[in-house]
Structure 1
Amino acid sequence: MKIISKFILYSVLLCFTFSCKSEIIQKEKQPNILFIAVDDLKTELGIYGNSVIQTPNLDKLASVGTAFANHYVQIPTCGASRQSLLTGLRPRTVVQLDNNITAIETSNKPEGETPESFIHHLKRNGYYTVGIGKISHSADGLVYGYNDMPSNKRELPHSWDEILFDSGKWKTGWNSFFAYADGENRQSMKNQVKPYEAGNVEDDGYPDGLTTKMALSSLKRLKEKDKPFFLGVGYFKPHLPFNSPKKYWDLYNRDSIKISKNPNIPKNINLKSLHASGEFNRYALGDEIATLKHRVSDEYAKKLIHGYYACVSYVDEQIGLLIKEVEALGLEENTVIVVWGDHGWHLGDQQVWGKHTIFEEALNSTLVIKVPGLKSSGKTNKTVVETVDIYPTLLELCGIEAPYNLDGRSLVGLMDNSKPRQKDVAYSYFKNGISLRTERYRLTKYFRQGEPTIELYDYLNDPFETINIASENAETVNKLMPLLEAGNTGLYN
């Protein structure tokens, strides 16, 4: 009886230690974390209702976890979005919208009292941290230019116990990021390449396959550690170029692929709200040029979407291999798995190919979280949430206090239904603008010359953002504007 009493007392103490207000089964040990960052992964997955794309592993993960359908990034560009993830903060200055913001703000700093990232904070609190691939902006975590050889300077100098990458035949991280199956890359070919490729290679014939091999090996090593681990794995695809092994292209019949439900420029907007697909057009051997003056053909649009889908299926397979290894190693019962897309991507939506707008397609991205012992799993959650919510979520799951006031709020209460949210909003920033997303509306304010500077979209009546209705809905704009202004963190003051 004394043994039983001590066990009960210990369990109660554990509940308080881990802020045990939810239905999550807490363990004696802090949970491991497998964090998977996927470049340009929008919500084009089976779990979000796309019946054509083939993502069985992500669908299965969502069936035992929580998929957030209305997850929005702070900034629709890779580096700045990841900086908000890492810090749990919305941007305060215009420079924090820059792709290189992590290198600017973090790489040259000595270790201080404030952690440089949530990974750094986990490390300080007993976690062994390993990063593989693109977690911050850099393809391999080191600071250097696209055409340069790697430096020894880390983007996150204090976050990682180990930072690993296998660049294979491409020799550098940035070459690997823009890799083609023959060992060339966009830089080496001086942009004289197509924006897609179906390579006659196995999975490790492209860099993401090599990343998976390294991650599988790391999981085996990490199991033997006497402390919990954080393993960050960053996949490149489906970022341009849409290159993947041919077998993933062969999963699709192109006739079944549909073009965007809104391939035209929205009515009542200024073209400054969009862009001319410059990143996409850098691939000089593309079949057609995308512009805001005319759409690409439906045939070419389907080919490009086919390529994007093939890349997503390729990464889905890599994620499946990681999950299977977690299970095979007996780590499943104490490992939190997070899959996060760093932003969305216009697949011809609003006549744009790329990210870099504050429209829905560029901001809405994948977020799936699987927590061991969660009873209310397997449902798609439609609450509006933000990337900055991930930092406090992981801290709550690990029983660690936040090091400073974070902009986000933990998602644990949403995942176990213990704390439903009311009137949630998400803030995003880019193109001299702030965008506010509520359950029904998107209100965007641009700080620029060129009218209109206010845009309002009603997703109940116009789910694909075809028309800006701000001018005829002044009452709704006036009601939402104070909420939008509350998200102006000083960026445009």
Structure 2
Amino acid sequence: MTFARLPILALVLAAGLPAVSPRPVAAAEAKPKQPNILFIFSDDHAYQAISAYKDPRQLVETPNIDRIAKEGMLFNRCMVPNSICGPSRAVVLTGKYNHINGFLNNSNSRFDNTQPTFVRDLHGAGYQTAIVGKWHLMTDPVGFDYWHILPGQGVYYNPPMIDNGKPVKHEGYVTDIITDLTLDWLKNRDKTKPFLMMCQHKAPHREWDPPIRHLGWNKGKPFAEPETLFDDYENRGQAVRDQDMTIEKTFTPKDAKLTAPPQLNAEQKAAWDAYYAPLNEEFQKQNPQGKDLIRWRYQRYMHDYLACVKAVDDGMGRVLKYLDEEGLSENTIVVYAADQGFYLGEHGWFDKRWIFEESLRTPLLVRWPGKVKAGSENKDIVSTVDFAETFLEAAGLPIPADMQGKSLVPILSGNTPSDWRKSFYYHYYEYPQPHHVRPHYGVVTDRYKLVHYYAPDVDYWELYDREKDPHELQSFYGNPDYEKVTADLKAEVQRLRTELKVPEKEEPWFYGGRKPGQPEPGKAGGGGGQGKKKKAQNAGTAQGS
């Protein structure tokens, strides 16, 4: 008798053994299907300008971005290690602070694209990888099957781009173009493999040039002002008082749309003039001064900035619709975040850079069906330095030991680890240009911020108590009632600096992103100046934000 050819049940009966159902080998040994990852990353998108975050001013509705919160998790305390564009992107790619990944500032840093990134790890594990939109790291992307990026900061209208190393020119609005390119790649990818798509918008970066279709979107309705629009910077030190990022003093005619962008084509220019020219004529006639001028600029700023946000939300809606139609939603992690927070008039400011809340905090919304409870919110201290680790664990890959963040996968599942961080280290370097914000580092907890300002002309500490002073208008450093708090926080910031391997002594050229004797960016002979011939990937506006 040839047992090998008998059915399993016959063998069982012949041996006089009880019948047992055969083990479903294929099902038991099948590996979990790796999720697709769609990472949508905007530039300077304040959490105050996402309606899911419920800012009291109710500045704008973002229904498509809000959908990620409704179907996933909204993070209330996602922080950036260094609130500035290029360094924040380097943190996301590497899972490391900037003193480790080498990209400290926008003035002269260049990303070492030979270093490990989560993208290279995913690609090596069989993921298709692509990046579209803003890159801003001064060297070519590596580890991507496809890259189609803006040179430098890029422009809003009819932007030049770089398609896998080849300069190209697009017609249209940059946010729509980035969305189009994202969808084109998704539609034409190898559908047998999981994918990572990094869709990285320029918007709503300065100078906040709106899409033509959203001009006048608010129908002239005034935007509510922040309580601190006329902050006088009392009760804080020299660094806060001596900066160059106020709506009052730093806002330019270009920011205010008193002049049109040179990239507009004839059709765009006609629509632009039809909207702005009458309003600008009325402004010139009224000639507001003092606080009235600040208020006028704030209203113009909000119209333009939020119109850019609306275009990003439009794009989000198109991409989510594609995932739904193609049956990809169930196995795709969708992440929406920004490279840092942004000031929408708070403290009289625009821009970012500071350890203060509006700058430090970035929006983070994550949808992962089957893993993340719909409509959940999280208040743990998380960070963009955690993104790389999260993507690797989600894909079932090991997390390199030298990464400095922590995977958010347990938190996304509703199980915050008992040893999750209770404090966070922040460090900003770029000085003096642009915006003249002094270098500073500090520690952040749920309640407190202890910050050390250091530069050739300043060396002092400040302490903020967000429970007593939620707008961060007063330093409590030196107050006898805070003596123990201060001592504890100083010990904690030193512990974090040691743990993160922060150099005890900063090199002098870290202050301005240039070596001693090197001219400031944008001035004759200086790195990063306008008017010098550069490689395509380094071209574009040289604003350090």
What TM-score does the superposition give when structure 1 sets the normalisation length? 0.79
In 2, are the aligned partners of 1:385 and 1:425 still within 8 Å (CA)?
Answer: no
Following TM superposition, by how much is the alpha carbon of 1:329 offset from its aligned partner in structure 2, in angstroms? 1.2
Distance across 2 between alignment mates of 1:79 and 1:69: 23
In 1, are the aligned partners of 2:227 and 2:346 still within 8 Å (CA)?
Answer: yes
Distance across 1 between alignment mates of 2:227 and 2:127: 45
Distance across 1 between alignment mates of 2:109 and 2:118: 13
Following TM superposition, by how much is the alpha carbon of 1:95 offset from its aligned partner in structure 2, in angstroms? 5.8
Following TM superposition, by how much is the alpha carbon of 1:246 offset from its aligned partner in structure 2, in angstroms? 4.0
Distance across 1 between alignment mates of 2:219 and 2:423: 38
- Does residue 267 of structure 2 align to residue 262 of structure 1? no
Q: 1:385-464 alignment to 2 at 5 Å?
A: 385-421=382-418, 422=420, 424-430=422-428, 431-448=438-455, 453-464=460-471
- Does residue 55 of structure 2 align to residue 71 of structure 1? no
Distance across 2 between alignment mates of 1:318 and 1:216: 10
2:44 counterpart (40, 46, 57)? 40
What TM-score does the superposition give when structure 2 sets the normalisation length? 0.71
SS in 2 for 1:346: coil
| CA deviation vs aligned residue, 1:336-355 (integer Å, no higher than 9, x gap) | 11112001112222232212
1:323 counterpart (301, 315, 320)? 320
1:178 counterpart (130, 144, 155)? 155
In 1, are the aligned partners of 2:222 and 2:299 still within 8 Å (CA)?
Answer: no
In 1, are the aligned partners of 2:73 and 2:372 still within 8 Å (CA)?
Answer: no
Distance across 2 between alignment mates of 1:3 and 1:281: 75
**Identity over aligned residues, as a percent?**
26
Distance across 2 between alignment mates of 1:68 and 1:419: 13
SS in 1 for 2:477: coil
- Does residue 473 of structure 2 align to residue 474 of structure 1? no
Change (3 A) 1:3 1:94: closer
| CA deviation vs aligned residue, 1:115-155 (integer Å, no higher than 9, x gap) | 2x211111111111111111x325xxxx4xxxxxxxxxx53
| CA deviation vs aligned residue, 1:187-223 (integer Å, no higher than 9, x gap) | xxxxxxxxxxxxxxxx97311111111111111112x
1:57 counterpart (59, 64, 71)? 64
SS in 1 for 2:103: helix
Per the alignment, residue 118 of structure 2 pairs with 118
SS in 1 for 2:336: strand
Distance across 2 between alignment mates of 1:102 and 1:410: 27
Per the alignment, residue 235 of structure 1 pairs with 201
In 2, are the aligned partners of 1:131 and 1:163 still within 8 Å (CA)?
Answer: yes
In 2, are the aligned partners of 1:84 and 1:388 still within 8 Å (CA)?
Answer: yes
Distance across 1 between alignment mates of 2:22 and 2:39: 37
Per the alignment, residue 188 of structure 1 pairs with none
Change (3 A) 1:212 1:64: same
2:192 counterpart (219, 226, 234)? 226
Q: 1:195-210 alignment to 2 at 5 Å?
A: 205-210=172-177
More divergent stretch after superposition (449-458 vs 380-389): 449-458
Following TM superposition, by how much is the alpha carbon of 1:335 offset from its aligned partner in structure 2, in angstroms? 0.8
Distance across 2 between alignment mates of 1:336 and 1:94: 26
Change (3 A) 1:416 1:243: same
Per the alignment, residue 486 of structure 1 pairs with 495
Distance across 2 between alignment mates of 1:314 and 1:75: 26
Q: 1:274-313 alignment to 2 at 5 Å?
A: 275-277=243-245, 281=250, 283-287=252-256, 297-313=294-310
Change (3 A) 1:3 1:128: farther
- Does residue 90 of structure 2 align to residue 83 of structure 1? yes
Change (3 A) 1:487 1:56: same
- Does residue 254 of structure 2 align to residue 245 of structure 1? no
Following TM superposition, by how much is the alpha carbon of 1:256 offset from its aligned partner in structure 2, in angstroms? 4.5
Following TM superposition, by how much is the alpha carbon of 1:427 offset from its aligned partner in structure 2, in angstroms? 1.9
Distance across 2 between alignment mates of 1:323 and 1:359: 33
Equivalent residue letter for 1:173: P
In 2, are the aligned partners of 1:266 and 1:468 still within 8 Å (CA)?
Answer: no
Change (3 A) 1:418 1:358: closer
Per the alignment, residue 30 of structure 1 pairs with 34
- Does residue 352 of structure 2 align to residue 355 of structure 1? yes
Per the alignment, residue 155 of structure 1 pairs with 140
Change (3 A) 1:101 1:124: farther
SS in 2 for 1:80: helix
Equivalent residue letter for 1:236: K
Distance across 2 between alignment mates of 1:425 and 1:313: 34
Distance across 2 between alignment mates of 1:332 and 1:97: 36
Equivalent residue letter for 2:357: E
Equivalent residue letter for 1:332: S
Distance across 2 between alignment mates of 1:164 and 1:81: 20
1:6 counterpart (17, 22, 25)? 25
Following TM superposition, by how much is the alpha carbon of 1:315 offset from its aligned partner in structure 2, in angstroms? 0.5
Following TM superposition, by how much is the alpha carbon of 1:244 offset from its aligned partner in structure 2, in angstroms? 1.6
Following TM superposition, by how much is the alpha carbon of 1:41 offset from its aligned partner in structure 2, in angstroms? 1.1
In 1, are the aligned partners of 2:206 and 2:255 still within 8 Å (CA)?
Answer: no
Following TM superposition, by how much is the alpha carbon of 1:230 offset from its aligned partner in structure 2, in angstroms? 0.7
Q: Where in structure 2 are there 5+ consecutive unaligned residues?
A: 1-19, 161-169, 259-289, 429-437, 506-545
Distance across 1 between alignment mates of 2:125 and 2:363: 28
More divergent stretch after superposition (400-409 vs 449-458): 449-458
Distance across 1 between alignment mates of 2:330 and 2:319: 15
Equivalent residue letter for 1:220: K
Distance across 1 between alignment mates of 2:413 and 2:81: 25
Per the alignment, residue 368 of structure 1 pairs with 365
In 2, are the aligned partners of 1:414 and 1:420 still within 8 Å (CA)?
Answer: yes
Per the alignment, residue 513 of structure 2 pairs with none
Distance across 2 between alignment mates of 1:310 and 1:332: 28
| CA deviation vs aligned residue, 1:352-399 (integer Å, no higher than 9, x gap) | 221222222212111111112125231221111111111111111110
Structure label with greater radius of gyration: 2
Distance across 2 between alignment mates of 1:265 and 1:313: 32
SS in 1 for 2:462: strand
Change (3 A) 1:101 1:376: farther
| CA deviation vs aligned residue, 1:263-319 (integer Å, no higher than 9, x gap) | 214432223246202999484445599xxxx87522221221222111111101111
- Does residue 176 of structure 2 align to residue 164 of structure 1? no
Per the alignment, residue 542 of structure 2 pairs with none
Equivalent residue letter for 1:80: P
Change (3 A) 1:449 1:254: farther
- Does residue 183 of structure 2 align to residue 216 of structure 1? yes
In 2, are the aligned partners of 1:385 and 1:424 still within 8 Å (CA)?
Answer: no
Equivalent residue letter for 2:476: I
Equivalent residue letter for 2:488: K
| CA deviation vs aligned residue, 1:232-254 (integer Å, no higher than 9, x gap) | 11111100111122443433255
Equivalent residue letter for 2:146: E
Distance across 1 between alignment mates of 2:484 and 2:324: 53
Equivalent residue letter for 1:490: V
Q: Where in structure 1 are there 5+ consecutive unaligned residues?
A: 15-27, 144-153, 166-171, 185-202
CA RMSD of aligned residues (A): 3.0
Per the alignment, residue 132 of structure 2 pairs with 132
